[in-house]
Amino acid sequence: MKKALKKAFPLLTLAFILAGSLHAKILIFTYSYNRPEFIEMQHKTFQKFLLDDYEFVVFCDAHTDEMAQEIESVCQRLGLRYVRIPQEIHEQPYLERFPGEPHNQASIRNSHVVQYSYDQVGQYHDDILVLIDSDIFLTRPFSAREFLEGYDIAGVMHVRTYGAEQFRYPWIGLVFLRMNTLPEKETICFNCRLSHKPIDAGGYVHYYLQRHPELRIRAFNQLRLNCNPPRTIKCEKCLPLAGLHPRCTHPLQIVCPQCRSKIKQNQQETFACTHNTEILRELGLSNATIRRVQAGAHSIESVMNDTFFHYRGGSGWAKRQSEGNFHKHKGEHLRLLIQEVLEETST
């Protein structure tokens, strides 16, 4: 599948060039569909914890003018660059679609907006480009420049297998691209669905990696917590609820040594028991995250050994907003976590 024919928006690229945004700084792109309150949380955590010179850019994909105005207002108040995604890209469509695919389905919209931002601005950047979901927050001191030293790409590497075919690609919820070392960077495509098979937004990057096996990729982990149904290793208190991980032979430990090692080596995405603080600390979780997990924050993720906190489903793609106070309660957990990490003294 190739990219569909797209309308050009050259003035956007020119605006970034004139502002000096495409040189000698880390460029961070996020994509806001709703939840404008997340923008300020991301902004404040980047200000506190990101150790590099950077520019934070908000691409607004709100489906109503009213929500777009709210997002733009937040960006203006915070002094952030705001870019309105032309909504017609979802109807063109911006990327080639198979017959019958709903253009406004969440992963398809995500592919469109990431590709648009990359085509119009990102591919022309001559330093590190960071793509980050709007509900992921930096919670510890971090240098993207140091982390990517010696690598071209960093991300959570997903693998999907269909018969004899195996697709490997970075999760575009959080990915780091060293734009000045990537070959044929104009060919990177973030489309979803490969050969009529369901695949995540960004899955088409598999083909770019396949064409360039020389690329240096740094993988980092993604630890899922308080998710239903629990799917992995359980301690003795959890066994009656979910059973054993099929490869785990240490049922009385919260996470067996073999599986614990895989987590640390970024080879396994897992859900862990949450009532044992010592094990959660061993897996890299901060005290602030542990408090939220043990207080019942549902379906969250620790990313890169808890350097980033992922709220998950912040835009409502999982349709959980229909479940009463789900996002109200979860949002309060997020507010408390961000408040705590911002009040802590950086070490």
* pLDDT of res. 191: 93
Give Cα 242 to chain centroid, integer Å. Answer: 28
Question: What are 7-66's pLDDT values in tens digits?
Answer: 444 556 666 655 665 666 999 999 999 999 999 999 999 999 999 999 999 999 998 999
Mean pLDDT of the chain: 81
Residue ranges, CATH 3.90.550, the chain:
10-219
CATH 3.90.550 fits 10-219, yes or no: yes
Query: H-helix or E-strand containing 40?
Result: helix 37-49
CB distance 281 to 288 below 8 Å: no
Integer Cα distance of 58 and 201 in angstroms? 19
Integer Cα distance of 12 and 16 in angstroms? 7
* pLDDT of res. 197: 73
Q: Are strands 153-162 and 165-178 parallel, antiparallel or unpaired?
A: antiparallel
Question: What are 276-334's pLDDT values in tens digits?
Answer: 787 788 778 999 999 998 888 888 899 999 999 999 887 765 555 555 577 788 899 99
Q: Give the pLDDT band (50/70/90) at residue 81.
A: very high
> Stretch 106-123: mean pLDDT, rounded?
93
